[in-house]
């Protein structure tokens, strides 16, 4: 995956420019917590906060097929790219997706998955420690 760190637009509250001063590509370890130290990147956190982005790399090693059933009964098959990441349940969706040149709030409740409870969303399990 490619790790991205974006500033936040003060008006739209959507991600803006990338705050990393160079590319950060990681090979994540399956079934483990992956710790990443970003000190060497000299990121200054803006007043409006940051967004942490995960960009899946479209490479053969990451490819798999996913069968999805929607809440309306429709079934589709998709070509996807891993890795799959851990998530946390939340009452308010906070995950965004960059698609077709714009940022969209991602609503995982549209997909019928057995572990998602009614009126619950999930966000990527990412935590950040900020130091001076």
Per-residue pLDDT of the chain in tens (132 residues, 90 and over written 9): 999 999 999 999 999 999 998 999 999 888 888 888 898 998 989 999 999 999 999 999 999 999 988 878 899 999 999 998 888 877 777 888 888 899 988 765 555 555 555 667 778 888 888 887
CB atoms within 10 A of CB 78: 9
What does the pLDDT read at residue 64? 94
What does the pLDDT read at residue 113? 54
What does the pLDDT read at residue 125? 84
Q: Residue 3: which of 45, 43, 56 has the closest Cα?
A: 56
Q: How far apart are CA 124 and CA 93, in angstroms?
A: 10
45 contacts: CB under 8 Å, gap ≥ 6: 130
What does the pLDDT read at residue 2? 94
């Amino acid at each position: 995956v490619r790790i991205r760190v974006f500033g936040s637009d003060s008006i739209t509250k959507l991600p803006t420019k990338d705050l990393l001063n160079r590319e950060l590509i990681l090979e994540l370890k399956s079934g483990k917590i992956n710790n990443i130290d970003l000190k060497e990147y000299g990121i200054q956190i803006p007043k409006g906060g940051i967004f942490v982005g995960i960009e899946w790399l479209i490479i053969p090693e990451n490819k798999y097929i996913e069968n999805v059933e929607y809440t309306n009964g429709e079934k589709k098959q998709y070509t996807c790219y891993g890795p799959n990441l851990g998530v946390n349940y939340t009452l308010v969706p906070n995950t965004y997706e960059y698609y077709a040149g714009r940022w969209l709030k991602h609503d995982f409740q549209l997909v019928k998955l057995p572990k998602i409870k009614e009126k619950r969303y999930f966000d990527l399990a990412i935590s950040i420690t900020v130091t001076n």
